[in-house]
A and B are shown apart, each in its own frame.
Chain A
Amino acid sequence: MDDDIEKLINEANWDKLMPELVNYADNLIRRYGWRGFSPRKGPRGQLLANDKNADDFSQEAIRRLLDGRRKWNPDKVDLLGVLKGIIKSIISSELKSLENQMLKDWVEDPNKLDPISKAADPNPTTDVLLDRKFQRQTYEAFKELVSNDAELSNYLEALELTHLPREIEELTKGEIKATRAYELKRKLKSKLDTFLTKSDFHNNNLIRGED
């Protein structure tokens, strides 16, 4: 490790950096849930990817930087940026083989491309199409799941258009007050995590391309 890098790591504010890294890694694991990988839940409710949680991935990234397995050029990216990159790479490689297996199992049907797929990207790759199709199907299944909760369902549809509580209040014609946003967000996150960790849904319905 170079002296200037050692100095930067020594002076880093880990009280600020660690929450950012853990949040990033946790969101990343959750997003993999929308790409075919089914995360599990740890003993305290943390999402797990191959039995490791966001904290494990964050600490592993720091370890790799410290022992020199990963290089850092501070002129190009700051410490938070380089660690996020390492986390992404670790999680990606952990799940790559599983993801490849899932993509292989997917039966591509070019006649069934949805209009949104075509509109967003004029030349999407096969992977993009598969991702998009899978994500749309999974998301629709989730919407169906919460459809019996009118308020949550309404809130979810508003979130598709805006993340601002005041705009959500306008969109729902005052049905969802800005002051309810925090509570509804917590509820929605919890439902999403539970939904994503139900692996039988991924394995039995979506991976085989059933609508």
Chain B
Amino acid sequence: MNINTDIKYEPLKNVLYALEYDFSLLDDEEKKQNLRERGFDIDASIANVKKMVNNALQEKRITWKEKAQQNLVQLNEKAGKAFKWVNQSYEEIEEAFGAVVSGKYGLQPQLQLRGAWKNLKELSIKDKAAILDSIEILKMSDSEDEKDGQTKI
């Protein structure tokens, strides 16, 4: 950042440059001493800036945390509205689960299931219902044009 451009009269520009240039040649402590001689409490300034930066960054982290908590509340609200498979009959759960495994409701749920459990036949009906509930919630979160009320895979 060149401030020389502010001075148009050459002899004066040279004098000001001469008076300013050697600051860059000083070591850290000499620079502070130079500023103290010019009336600045540079140590207090540095401490103040560090505090200001820490406060700002901490505030940002708190904001992020609050946002995450709000998202969690929203997710829980969605979960409360989602269709509950655990309350359905054995046959209905088996049928829906079979549909997910066969890929009828998309490749993603199908692959996730196959990746997580090598032998899907060993899963209990309760586990299958719980998996279907999770898929319901995920589908609700993904859906941007989701309407109020229950949805079903």
Contacts and interface: CB of A to CB of B under 8 A. Distances in A.
Given A19-B28, A135-B12, A160-B14, A27 B46 contact: no
Contacts of B60: 1, 6
Contacts of A189: 19
Interface string B5-36: 01111111011111111110000100110110
A125 B31 CA distance: 37
B1 A88 contact: yes
A19 B32 contact: yes
A161 B13 CA distance: 10
A139 B38 CA distance: 22
Task: Please classify how large the interface on chain A is, using the bins under 10, 10 to 19, 20 to 34, 35 or more.
Answer: 35 or more
Given A32-B6, A160-B11, A18 B38 contact: no
Q: Is the interface of B mostly helix, strand, loop or mixed?
A: helix
Given A6-B57, A120-B8, A159 B18 contact: yes
Given A84-B1, A161-B14, A45 B8 contact: no
Interface in A1-57: 1, 6, 9-10, 12, 14-16, 18-20, 22-24, 26-28, 30-32, 34-35, 42-46, 53-55
B6 A59 contact: no
B50 interface: yes
Interface in B30-62: 31-32, 34-35, 38-42, 45-46, 48-50, 52-53, 56-57, 60
A185 B144 CA distance: 69
Contacts of A31: 3, 6-7, 16
Interface stretch (A61-69, A100-108, A199-207): A61-69
- Give the top 8 A-B pairs by smallest Cβ distance, nearest first: A163-B18, A44-B39, A46-B39, A135-B9, A84-B1, A45-B39, A132-B8, A66-B56
21 contacts: A1-B60, A31-B16, A44-B40, A55-B40, A62-B53, A66-B53, A67-B56, A84-B1, A85-B1, A120-B10, A128-B8, A131-B8, A135-B7, A135-B9, A136-B12, A159-B18, A160-B15, A162-B14, A162-B18, A185-B18, A185-B22
